[in-house]
């Protein structure tokens, strides 16, 4: 059974959803409008069945968690370490979807003592660009300039799913609830704040070989930004990279291929624990 709890982190009230017992896996949602711990609710039982303690949270400014003063990616990166402290977890595996894959990799590079392993899910910025290709938009900017209608929320979900039958009335209502009101205002603040991460000498996709903990990357073959072609380039550059392309999947791989995601994640953690 899924456990819903609230924990104090950096003076903020943060919601967590958890299920299972075993090695800890922290599931980090992306930054698109409507993102929250809800994107993982369909995955928690399968991960728990594979002997994992799966924990998802509403990051600051998302879902029903409090808004932070700092809406930058850099703040949310630091927040993960404080969340681990609040949960009394000295070390955990991190699963980062979309923009959060970048957060997980940066933490592995800079705080490997806290990160047992990383699973990246659909993070476009961790793939090399195609020669001559236009620079893709920043992750986390998926959303409009005005609060979305229910139909607009549906269209945003449709753009991220291969199997649109997964957009049930309940899933649509949950996503819309997390896209309006305070969550929409926080989305605008995040766009204004940007990354706040400073400038790397090399982009993170060029540093994958430096990651000092086990790393697995999972992408939908039909994801945006020519993900399949760019994944092939990544494998050319890093032949030993643990990278998986899942067919009939777009950006929400954990929805489109829930069982395969759970199997890939469970086997990875079991093999690295």
Give the separation between CA 112 and CA 104, rounded to whole angstroms.
Answer: 10
pLDDT, the chain, mean: 94
Beta bridge partners of 24: 53
pLDDT digits (tens, 9 = 90+) for 209-244: 999 999 999 999 999 999 999 999 999 999 999 999
What is the CB neighbour count within 10 angstroms for residue 68?
20
Report the chain's C-alpha Rg in angstroms: 17
pLDDT at 199 over 70: no
Residue 265 in any domain: the answer is yes
Cα-based distances in Å from 107 to 66, 80, 112: 23, 9, 7
Give the separation between CA 133 and CA 117, rounded to whole angstroms.
Answer: 31
How many independent structural domains does the chain possess?
Answer: 1
Collapsing DSSP states into helix, strand and coil, what is residue 148? coil
Instruction: Confirm if 244 and 217 have CB atoms less than 8 A apart.
Output: yes
pLDDT at 273 over 60: no
pLDDT at 100 over 70: yes
Instruction: Confirm if 17 and 141 have CB atoms less than 8 A apart.
Output: no
What pLDDT score does 178 carry? Answer: 98
Residue 230 in any domain: the answer is yes
What pLDDT score does 158 carry? Answer: 97
Supply the CATH number for residue 261's domain: 3.40.50.1820
Beta bridge partners of 28: 96
Q: Residue 270 — pLDDT band, cuts 50, 70, 90?
A: confident
pLDDT digits (tens, 9 = 90+) for 24-34: 999 999 999 99
pLDDT at 262 over 70: yes
Chain centroid to CA 124 = 11
Residue 260 in any domain: the answer is yes
Cα-based distances in Å from 186 to 97, 181, 182, 235: 19, 9, 6, 36
What is the CB neighbour count within 10 angstroms for residue 109?
18
- The DSSP H or E segment spanning 83 is helix 73-86
Q: Residue 272 — pLDDT band, cuts 50, 70, 90?
A: low
Collapsing DSSP states into helix, strand and coil, what is residue 185? helix
Residue 224 in any domain: the answer is yes
Residue 167 in any domain: the answer is yes
What pLDDT score does 136 carry? Answer: 65
Give the separation between CA 43 and CA 254, rounded to whole angstroms.
Answer: 7
Residue 190 in any domain: the answer is yes
pLDDT digits (tens, 9 = 90+) for 141-164: 788 999 999 999 999 999 999 999
What is the CB neighbour count within 10 angstroms for residue 101?
27
Closest CA to 154 of 64, 34, 31, 253: 34
Residue 133 in any domain: the answer is no
Note down the domain range covering 202: 3-128+140-272
Residue 134 in any domain: the answer is no
Rounded mean pLDDT, 3-9: 97
Q: Residue 88 — pLDDT band, cuts 50, 70, 90?
A: very high
What pLDDT score does 7 carry? Answer: 98
Q: Which strands, in side-by-side order, build the sheet including 243-246?
A: 3-9, 12-19, 53-57, 24-28, 92-97, 115-121, 215-220, 243-246
pLDDT digits (tens, 9 = 90+) for 106-142: 999 999 999 999 999 999 999 999 997 777 666 777 8
pLDDT at 197 over 70: no
């Amino acid at each position: 059974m899924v456990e819903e709890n609230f924990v104090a982190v950096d003076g903020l009230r943060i919601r967590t959803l958890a299920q299972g017992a075993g090695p800890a896996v922290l599931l980090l949602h992306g930054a698109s409008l409507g993102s929250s711990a809800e994107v993982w609710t369909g995955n928690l039982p399968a991960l728990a069945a594979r002997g994992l303690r799966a924990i998802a949270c509403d990051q600051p400014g998302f879902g029903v968690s409090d808004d932070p003063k700092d809406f930058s990616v850099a703040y949310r990166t630091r927040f993960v370490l404080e969340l681990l402290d609040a949960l009394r977890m000295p070390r955990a595996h991190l699963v980062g979807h979309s923009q959060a894959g970048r957060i997980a990799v940066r933490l592995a590079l800079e705080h490997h003592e806290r990160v047992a392993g990383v699973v990246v899910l659909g993070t476009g910025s961790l793939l090399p660009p195609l020669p001559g290709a236009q620079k893709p938009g920043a992750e986390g900017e998926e959303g409009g300039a005005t609060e979305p209608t229910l139909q607009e929320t549906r269209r945003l979900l449709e753009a991220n799913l291969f199997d649109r039958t997964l957009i049930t009335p309940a899933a649509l209502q949950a996503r819309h609830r997390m896209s309006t009101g305070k969550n929409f205002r926080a989305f605008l603040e995040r766009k204004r704040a940007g990354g706040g991460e400073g400038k790397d000498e090399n982009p993170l996709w060029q540093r994958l070989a430096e990651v000092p903990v086990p790393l697995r990357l999972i992408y939908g073959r039909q994801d945006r930004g020519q993900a399949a072609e760019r994944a092939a380039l990544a494998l050319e550059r890093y032949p030993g990279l643990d990278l998986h392309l899942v067919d009939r999947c777009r950006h929400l791989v954990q929805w489109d291929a829930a069982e395969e995601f759970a199997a890939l994640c469970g086997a990875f953690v079991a093999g690295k624990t």
